[in-house]
Chain A
Amino acid sequence: MSTEESHHDGAEVAARVERRWATISVIIIVAMALLAAFAGIHRATMPQPRVETTDPSRLHLSGEFVESNLGSVLETNGNVTVRAIGQQYSFTPACILVPADTPITLRATSADVVHGILIQGTNVNTMLVPGYISEQPMRFARTGDYLMPCQEFCSFGHEGMWGKVKVIDKTEFADRAKGGGRLSCVGQ
């Protein structure tokens, strides 16, 4: 066997090993993509399904983010909807009250600049971009207090923009909801 040939054989071997590795890499990637799709179908946290718009400087005049409509409301089907806004430098309501073990829809938007809502210890995490409405499903397994900081720089008071979430027992929430109106734990 001439050196020429062995050189050629070497190249063949190298290419074959390489192809094998490339195949393994592709399999890894496809597996990851399938995993993502599977998790998506089985109700992991998903990006919101729709893009909805609103006018941030007129939120307080009409529509679903007027002051009297901010807070939590028990819907007729037993689910809860929470409406909130972020503004420099607070969330309204500053303390969100929700029941445990209940499907909850968070609908929120920003009145001025880009903010973010993050509830510590949960997967609830969404941007608030002025002009657009953010929607995220959430569900709390246990009662207690959670911190809810703003997670995007919103000018020089950003470090002071911390809200709270209070998760209470389902029946207690239903009792409080009997009075109508929008619930929050502000001032409690």
Chain B
Amino acid sequence: MLVNRKLILAHFWLAFAVFGIALTLGAWQMFIRSPIGTWLSNPELYYRSLTAHGTVMGYVFPTLVAMGFGYAISESALEQRLVGVRWAWAGFWLIVAGSIMAVIPIALGRASVLYTFYPPLIGNVFYYLGVVLVVVGSWIWVALMSINLRVWRKAHPGAPVPLAMFANVAGSYLWAWTAVGAALELLLQIIPVAAGLKTTIDAGLARVFFSWTLHAIVYFWLMPTYIAYYTIVPRAIGGRVYSDTMARISFILFLVVAMPIGMHHTFADPQVGAGFKFIHSAFTALVTLPTLLTVFTICASVEIAARLRGGRGLFGWIRALPWDNPMMLALAFSFVMLGFGGAGGLINMSYQLDASIHNTQWITGHFHLIFGGAIVIMYFAIAYDLWPHLTGRELIDLRLIRTQLWLWFVGMMITTFPWHWVGILGMPRRMAYFDFGDPGIAPQALSVTLSAIGGFILLASGILFLVILARGMRAPQTDAGPYRFALAVHQPATVPVALNTHALWVGLMIALTLTNYGYPILTLALNEGTSVPAVYVGAQ
């Protein structure tokens, strides 16, 4: 039951439009700093582009996808009209306003501080205010998801919350809480300095606040993808979810352990104690658990689909899968990229191995593989799956869709594998150009060139994606029927309270944040001597 289609379409279209722009910037960046590009006569342009790319891809694009998908889930999984549609539009327009407010100073070159902010570098205040507005807009969505679930519960006392909505609300709570770190950094530290009310800032504290957001935000990006794994893929390929309970446990685990782990980004930082680094490292190891459980459950679910289609044998069933179905293809690509990306992630989070790749191109390769690869390819799949229900028109050209997915997968592989490699060779991040003529870094030239070519393949795929969606708006009309989610093999009649509500897990999430972040933040905040003079970027 999708009633507010315009609202959902508006979110998706805005998301994919800004994605297209940021993708183009990204491809240009790959090219311009590679040996096939020429050195920029103004390196600031590179950092300007990088700021726009990161801000859009990190804060605007995934947030809009999660919001649009969230509204779709709320209406179709709960079979209930969205409560608070006006508020939803208000949230949408806040994001539009915030994005415009942030992009103008970036475009003028007044805020080329990169999306990680990293004070004491300080850019134009409107950049930060714009980012705050985007976050505030998304918090309206969080509240609406919670309210809609509550309304449904009242009408269905004791009934199991549909898995898709349970996961969706878990994702929204995760976002609400993880965004608090960056929000505190912006509101308490950066914006007063950028507005000229203060002249000093604690750079170490800012990095700790940012790590609060920077890691769990990845799991927020991941949520729509995991929801698609569990509740769309099995239905789309004609199977069933292996286990409803395990799915709930996975989402709950994300809620609890995605948060108190962000300090593995600060292993090399001097302002955080080694003890807390170790605790965060251990909890980061734990966050692999929900992913391992998911891999098992989804593989089992896919196997069920294959056996229902007549697949036989220990591995023979793989051949029986509907490989021409874009959802199947996207899932397979996503899993491959998740596998490689996850393996790389284990290196980043390990207390010692991190030192060999910290802040090298390995890191950029890693999160492009996980986010741009495993996660975004499922965003594509979600859009393809939802589109006929939103537009009332069919996406006819499956071959084109498969081509697009293949291009994205191949492009991402060609981009990120050499990217990881040059990271191991010690190539630093975020430089506008490199002198590949120097014998010290000449061996990296070939890999960087390959990455740049991969970037153009990704750009081609992104353009194709937008073309497919745009053509879908003008395709012949069809009745796609109600939007449905996958059922479990053993659909539960009742679910224990703990697995049907979020309160306990939100409580644990907040408690673990306090134990793992409380002391480091307090000591740094109360320590007077470590605020340093702000450094304002830009020409004078």
Residues of A that sit less than 8 Å from B by CB: 7, 10-11, 14-15, 17-18, 21-22, 25-26, 28-29, 32-33, 35-36, 39-40, 44-49, 51-53, 55-57, 88, 109, 112-114, 116, 118-121, 123-135, 145, 147, 149-159
Q: A7-B490, A116-B268, A152-B118 are known contacts. Are A21 and B293 too (CB-CB below 8 A)?
A: yes
B272: chain A residues within 8 A (beta carbon): 47, 51
Q: B477 in the interface, Cβ–Cβ < 8 Å?
A: no
Complex Cα–Cα for A154 and B242 (A): 49
* Interface positions of B (Cβ within 8 A of A): 43-44, 47, 112, 114, 116, 118, 120-121, 202-204, 207, 242-243, 245-246, 266-274, 277-278, 281-282, 285-286, 288-289, 292-293, 296-297, 300, 346, 350-352, 355-356, 358-360, 425-426, 428-434, 440-441, 489-490, 527, 529-533, 535, 537
Complex Cα distance, B297 from A45, in Å, reads 37
- Residues of chain B lying within 8 A (CB to CB) of residue A15: 243, 245
Give 5 closest A-B pairs by Cβ, nearest first: A120-B426, A132-B270, A151-B359, A131-B530, A44-B352
A145 CA / B356 CA spacing, docked (Å): 18
Nearest Cβ on chain B to A85's Cβ, whole angstroms: 13
Contact A46 B270 (CB under 8 A): no
Bound complex: CA of A143 vs CA of B346, how far in Å? 32
Residues of chain A with a CB closer than 8 A to B277's CB: 47
Contact B428 A118 (CB under 8 A): yes
Min CB–CB distance B102 → chain A (angstroms): 18
With a cutoff of 8 Å between Cβ atoms, the chain A residues found around residue B489 in the complex are: 10-11, 14
- The answer to whether A53 and B44 touch across the interface, beta carbons within 8 angstroms, is no
Which of B282, B428, B440 is close to A151, meaning CB atoms less than 8 Å apart?
Answer: B428
A44: nearest residue on chain B (CB-CB)? B352
Known contacts: A33-B282, A123-B355, A157-B43. The answer to whether A131 contacts B289 by CB under 8 A is no
Q: Would you give the shortest CB distance from A107 to chain B, in whole angstroms?
A: 10
Given A112-B535, A126-B268, A132-B271, check contact A53 B429 (CB 8 Å).
no
B439 smallest CB distance to A (angstroms): 10
What are 12 A-B pairs with beta-carbon distances under 8 A?
A: A10-B490, A15-B243, A40-B351, A46-B351, A47-B351, A51-B272, A56-B533, A119-B426, A126-B270, A127-B268, A128-B270, A133-B270
Closest chain-B Cβ to A7's Cβ sits at a distance in Å of 7
Q: Is the CB of A114 within 8 A of B292?
A: no
User: In the complex, which residues of chain B have a beta carbon less than 8 angstroms from the beta carbon of A28?
Assistant: 288, 292
Residue among B112, B297, B535 with the highest chain A CB neighbour number at 10 A: B535
CA distance A21 to B282 in the complex (A): 20
Q: Is the CB of B346 within 8 A of A159?
A: no
* B490 close to A132 (CB less than 8 A): no
A147 to B296 alpha-carbon distance, docked (Å): 44
Q: Is the CB of A22 within 8 A of B207?
A: no
CB neighbours of A47 from chain B (8 A)? 267-268, 272, 274, 277, 351
User: B352 near A18 (CB under 8 angstroms)?
Assistant: no
Residues of B within 8 A of A125 (CB): 268, 355-356, 358-360
CA distance A29 to B350 in the complex (A): 12
Given contacts A21-B293, A36-B350, A156-B537, contact A135 B120 (CB under 8 A): no
Q: A31's closest neighbor in chain B, by CB?
A: B285
A-B pair number, CB within 8 angstroms: 202
Contact A153 B47 (CB under 8 A): yes
Given A14-B489, A151-B428, A153-B47, decide whether A56 and B532 contact each other with a Cβ distance below 8 A: yes
- Are A131 and B204 in contact, with the CB atoms below 8 A? yes
Q: Which residues of A contact B440 (CB under 8 A)?
A: 120, 145, 147
Q: Whole-angstrom distance between the alpha carbons of A65 and B289 in the complex? A: 45
Contact in complex: B428, A14 (CB < 8 Å):
no
Cβ-neighbour of A29 out of B285, B352, B358, B533 (below 8 A): B285
**A17 CA to B242 CA in the complex, in Å?**
11
Q: Which of B246, B527, B530 has the most CB of A within 10 A?
A: B530
Looking at the complex, which one of B203, B243, B266, B530 makes contact with A14 (CB distance below 8 Å)?
A: B243
Give complex CA distance A52, B272 in Å.
Answer: 10
CA distance A164 to B535 in the complex (A): 26
Most A CB contacts (10 A, CB to CB) among B202, B207, B267, B268 go to B268
Do A57 and B532 contact each other (CB < 8 Å), given the known contacts A47-B268, A159-B432? yes
In the bound complex, what is the Cα–Cα distance between A124 and B292 (angstroms)? 32
Closest Cβ of chain B: how far from A20's Cβ, in Å? 10
Which residue from B43, B207, B285, B533 sits with its C-beta under 8 Å from A114? B207
Let me know if A25 and B270 touch, CB within 8 A. no
CA distance A28 to B359 in the complex (A): 27
Bound CA span A181–B285, Å = 46
Are A25 and B358 in touch, CB under 8 angstroms?
A: no
User: How far is A35 from B311 in the complex, measured between Cα atoms in Å?
Assistant: 40
A98 CB → nearest B CB, Å: 17
Kindly list chain A residues whose C-beta atoms are within 8 Å of the C-beta of B433. 159
Q: Which of A18, A39, A145, A158 contacts B296 (CB 8 A)?
A: A18
The listed residue (A21, A40, A121, A131) touching B426 by CB distance below 8 A is: A121
Q: Are A53 and B350 in contact (CB under 8 A)?
A: no
What residues of chain B lie closer than 8 Å to A154, measured between beta carbons?
121
B contact residues around A159 at 8 Å (CB): 43, 431-434
Question: Once bound together, how far apart are the Cα atoms of A133 and B530, in whole Å?
Answer: 11
Cβ contact within 8 Å between A14 and B490: yes
Are A127 and B270 in contact, with the CB atoms below 8 A? yes
Q: Which residues of A contact B297 (CB under 8 A)?
A: 18
Contacts of A26 in B (CB 8 A): 289
Contact A113 B535 (CB under 8 A): yes
CA distance A127 to B528 in the complex (A): 21
The answer for the CA separation of A153 and B203 in the assembled complex, in Å, is 14
In Å, the complex CA distance between A145 and B440 comes to 9
Find B203's partner among A17, A118, A131 (CB 8 Å cutoff): A131
Q: Which residues of B contact A10 (CB under 8 A)?
A: 489-490
Q: B62 to chain A: closest CB distance in Å?
A: 22
Out of B266, B286, B441, name the residue touching A147 (CB < 8 Å): B441
